[in-house]
Amino acid sequence: MGSETGGRRARRWAIAGLLVIVLTVTSVPVLGFVAYGPARTVSAYFDALERGDATAAVDRLLLGDVTDGWALTDAALTGAPSLPTRVNVTHVEVDGDSATAHVRYDLAGTTRSQDVALVRRTGLWGLFPEWLIDPGQLPRLDLVVDGASTLHLNSADVPVPREGLPVLYPVEYSAGFAEEWFRSDVQNAVVDGTEPEVEVRLAAEPTDRLLTEVQKLVREHLEECATATTL
């Protein structure tokens, strides 16, 4: 009798164990899609932009080696005229290892809609897929600058390369420079990823110090001319 009861108990434990395994296996795809799915990746990316965390945003992107990432920093997001807010992933379409997320957000006083492409890679423990946003290539700010080799981009000091600067998006950037002899007005540019390049033109203007120095030199020259004429 005791051995029969023990056998039944063992069978119950075996059945319970198999049930746990079945539930775990069947729940992995659902859990993976919710916790690690494309919508979660897009939301995490936009959240990182909104709080000015460039590193976290870049981690959600499928990028190769970036050798000119001077604008892919927290400082380049800090002080931005506008960052995306009220972000809503309205719909996701999955096709194998590719997905498209439809996103609605506010930026620079305008409500915008955008499709975000993603790709799936093997993720945590080989169980949960890792979805990354695939921008192809990051959009660039095409900087047309006279009179300066560096400029202020939001709160970052960045060089002015001929090929432009890759930047995170969607973000509104402010650009300008103020050096000893020349300065520029600040120009704002919205980069939403729909165009590969966004042009920013900064025209050099003389600083007050330069004007004062020029006036001083002109005055000294005129005084020298007057003295020479008198003599």
What CATH number does domain 2-70+81-133 carry, 2.40.128, 2.30.30, 3.10.450, 3.30.70? 3.10.450
Q: In this structure, are residues 77 and 71 in contact, taking their beta carbons and an 8 Å threshold?
A: no
Domain residues of the chain, as ranges?
Answer: 2-70+81-133
Could you tell me the pTM of the whole model? Answer: 0.77
Position 17 confidence tier, pLDDT thresholds 50, 70, 90: low
pLDDT tens per residue across span 178-195: 888 788 999 999 999 999
Alpha carbons 15 and 32: distance in angstroms, whole number: 26
| Euclidean distance between the first and the last CA atom of the chain, given in angstroms as a whole number | 136
Give the pLDDT of residue 192.
Answer: 95
pLDDT tens per residue across span 100-139: 999 999 999 999 999 999 999 986 666 678 999 999 999 9
Q: What is the 3-state secondary structure (H, E, C) of the chain?
A: CHHHHHHHHHHHHHHHHHHHHHHHHHHHHHHHHHHHCHHHHHHHHHHHHHCCCHHHHHHCECCCCCCCCCCCCHHHHCCCCECCEEEEEEEEEEECCEEEEEEEEEECCEEEEEEEEEEEECCHHHCCCEEEECCCCCCEEEEEECCCCEEEECCEEEECCCCCEECCCCEEEEEECECCCEECCCEEEEECCCCCEEEEEECCEECHHHHHHHHHHHHHHHHHHHHHHHC
Q: What is the mean pLDDT of the chain?
A: 84
Please give the backbone phi and psi of residue 211, each rounded to the nearest 5 degrees, phi first. Answer: -60, -40
For tokens 């992107």, the residue is: 61
Q: How far is CA 181 from CA 30, 66, 149, 150, 160, in A?
A: 61, 33, 13, 14, 18
